[in-house]
């Protein structure tokens, strides 16, 4: 049963939830282009910076798994406000960091809080938005990813260039505080599910651990892993190897984000027209060229780097669209929510492990250049090839996931 909202209240709620999603995505993404600054300021190696990036996603994945045991035991309003409050505090602590260890701890806490926000937000949408308008509401909230790339990252980088690297974290924390106040005023209790009893919770969590489901997680894991072998180090590579200035990065990310936003809409249309498996296969094959081309690019003028970056990001960042469409269609509705929560944890875990693994391969030369980035590009292509094999197996598999064990 959905909560009763006026059209104006409904629109306000959707915008607030989209703002929360935007805030935590921006909090994750802003560290990537600030890599050269962090490596210089805290004297970090590539491996240490990879650990800094992976701490956020690994904590997010861990909390996403742990949350399966307790997240439905409390009201949606109190759960989201508590998690968002912890996220705001941790983000402000990032801005106040005085050492690498301090920043690492604050990033881990922020990632842990962010790990559950997406699941809680989708649950609130299901509780409050009628089915005939729910798809549009979810689409609005999920569009925050493109918006954070198009507007958030360039604005945050410009702020960092003018006011220092701490400024974006303060701004994100203040935005989060405003959203917290808005949700406090708008959200009802939303605790009807707490007293629903175990008989209405659907199949048990053990139903998620069947071979067919595991193959879907493996596909998600491999797609995300191949992407994040390279993505965390793109800014450091562009500054250290390709000859760009730190002040050039906002323009590069603005172009890449705009291209990603446009490409995502087109990829969505292709998924509806040709099917998610075919579109995903085409994107996996297509991304091998920009992965190898960008990772082996010599020092080049800004326009050349920008074109290569646009091609890289627009293809790589849209691969999750057909991936999610494919696996969600294979999962029966009684298990879909918990499965997608676990699938998000698999994606976050892959992102963190890939950033760490790639950091172990890379060495920062005295001049700031990354040595071994080309090897990471070849490794990304290798993992992408594995993804194609998993996709072929997953698509051909006749395992009826709807036959997963359910509660009696």
For the chain, give every domain's residue range.
9-191, 206-396
Three-state secondary-structure class, residue 364: strand
Distance separating alpha carbons of residues 359 and 28, to the nearest angstrom? 17
Average pLDDT of 136-152? 65
At 283-295, the pLDDT tens digits run 999 999 999 999 9
Confidence category of residue 232, pLDDT binned at 50, 70, 90: confident
170 CB-contact burial (10 Å; exposed 0-12 / middle 13-18 / buried 19+): middle
Residue 286 phi/psi, 5° resolution? -65, -35
Contacts of 242 (CB under 8 A, 6+ apart): 297, 298, 299, 300, 305
How many Å separate Cα 159 from the centre of its chain?
Answer: 23
Question: How distant, in Å, are the alpha carbons of 12, 144, 145, 176 from that of 182?
Answer: 9, 18, 21, 10
Tell me, yes or no, if the two domains 9-191 and 206-396 fold the same way.
yes
Predicted pLDDT at 54: 80
- Report the length, in residues, of the chain: 408
Residue pLDDT, tens place only, 49-74: 888 888 888 888 888 777 766 666 77
- Most confident by average pLDDT, 30-39, 144-153, 214-223: 214-223
Asked whether the predicted pLDDT for residue 25 surpasses 60, the reply is: yes
Is-contact 92 144, C-beta < 8 A? Answer: no
State the DSSP string of 110-138.
Answer: HHHHHHHHHHHHHHHHHHHS-HHHHHHHH
Which class is domain 206-396?
mainly alpha
The Cα–Cα gap between 385 and 162 comes to: 42
Label residue 404 by pLDDT band (50, 70, 90). very low
What does the DSSP 8-state code read for residue 3? P
CB atoms within 10 A of CB 281: 17
Helices (H), 187-319: 211-228, 234-240, 249-274, 276-295, 302-316
The closest alpha carbon to 120, from 68, 53, 59, 172, belongs to 68
Cross-strand bridge partners of residue 370: 364
The predicted-structure confidence for 235-256, as pLDDT tens digits, reads as follows: 889 998 998 988 888 888 888 8
**Distance between CA atoms of residues 275 and 284, nearest Å:** 15
Q: For residues 363 and 170, what is the distance between their CA atoms, to the nearest angstrom? A: 31
The strand pairing partners of 371, in sequence order, are 363
Q: How far apart are CA 241 and CA 183, in angstroms?
A: 45
pLDDT score of 403 more than 50: no
**Structural domain 9-191, CATH architecture:** Up-down Bundle (1.20)
């Amino acid at each position: 049963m959905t909560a009763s909202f006026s059209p104006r209240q409904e629109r306000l709620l959707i915008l607030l939830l989209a703002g929360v999603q935007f805030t935590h995505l921006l909090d994750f993404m802003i560290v990537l282009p600030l890599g050269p600054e962090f490596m210089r300021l805290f004297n970090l190696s590539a491996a240490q910076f990879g650990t800094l990036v992976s701490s956020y996603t690994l904590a997010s994945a861990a909390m996403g798994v742990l949350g399966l045991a307790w997240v439905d035991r409390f009201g949606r309003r109190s759960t989201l406000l508590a998690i968002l409050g912890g996220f705001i505090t941790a983000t402000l602590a990032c801005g106040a960091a005085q050492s690498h260890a301090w920043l690492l701890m604050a990033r881990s806490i922020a990632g842990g809080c962010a790990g559950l926000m997406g699941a809680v937000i989708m649950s609130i949408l299901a509780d409050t938005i009628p089915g005939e308008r729910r798809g549009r509401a979810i689409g609005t909230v999920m569009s925050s990813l493109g918006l954070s790339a198009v507007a958030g990252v360039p604005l945050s980088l410009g702020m960092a260039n003018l006011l220092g690297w701490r400024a974006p974290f303060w701004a994100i924390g203040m935005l989060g505080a405003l959203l917290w106040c808005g949700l406090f005023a708008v959200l009802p209790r939303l605790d009807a599910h707490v007293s629903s009893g175990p008989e209405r919770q659907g199949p048990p969590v053990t139903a998620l651990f069947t071979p067919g489901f595991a193959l879907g997680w493996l596909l998600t894991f491999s797609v995300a892993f191949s992407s994040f072998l390279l993505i965390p180090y793109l800014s450091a590579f562009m500054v250290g190897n390709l000859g760009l200035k730190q002040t050039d990065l906002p323009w590069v990310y603005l172009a890449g984000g705009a291209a990603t936003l446009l490409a995502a809409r087109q990829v969505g249309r292709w998924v509806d027209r040709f099917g998610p498996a075919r579109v995903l296969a085409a994107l996996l094959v297509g991304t091998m060229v920009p992965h190898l081309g960008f990772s082996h690019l010599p020092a080049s003028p800004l326009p050349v780097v920008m074109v290569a970056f646009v091609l890289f990001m627009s293809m790589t960042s849209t691969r999750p669209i057909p991936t999610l469409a494919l696996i969600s269609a294979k999962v029966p509705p009684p298990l879909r929510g918990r499965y997608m929560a676990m699938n998000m944890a698999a994606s976050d875990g892959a992102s963190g492990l890939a950033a760490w693994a790639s950091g172990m391969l890379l060495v920062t030369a005295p001049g700031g250049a990354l040595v071994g980035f080309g090897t990471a590009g070849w490794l990304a292509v290798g993992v992408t090839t594995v993804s194609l094999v998993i996709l072929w197996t997953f698509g051909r598999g006749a395992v009826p996931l709807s036959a997963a064990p359910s509660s009696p």
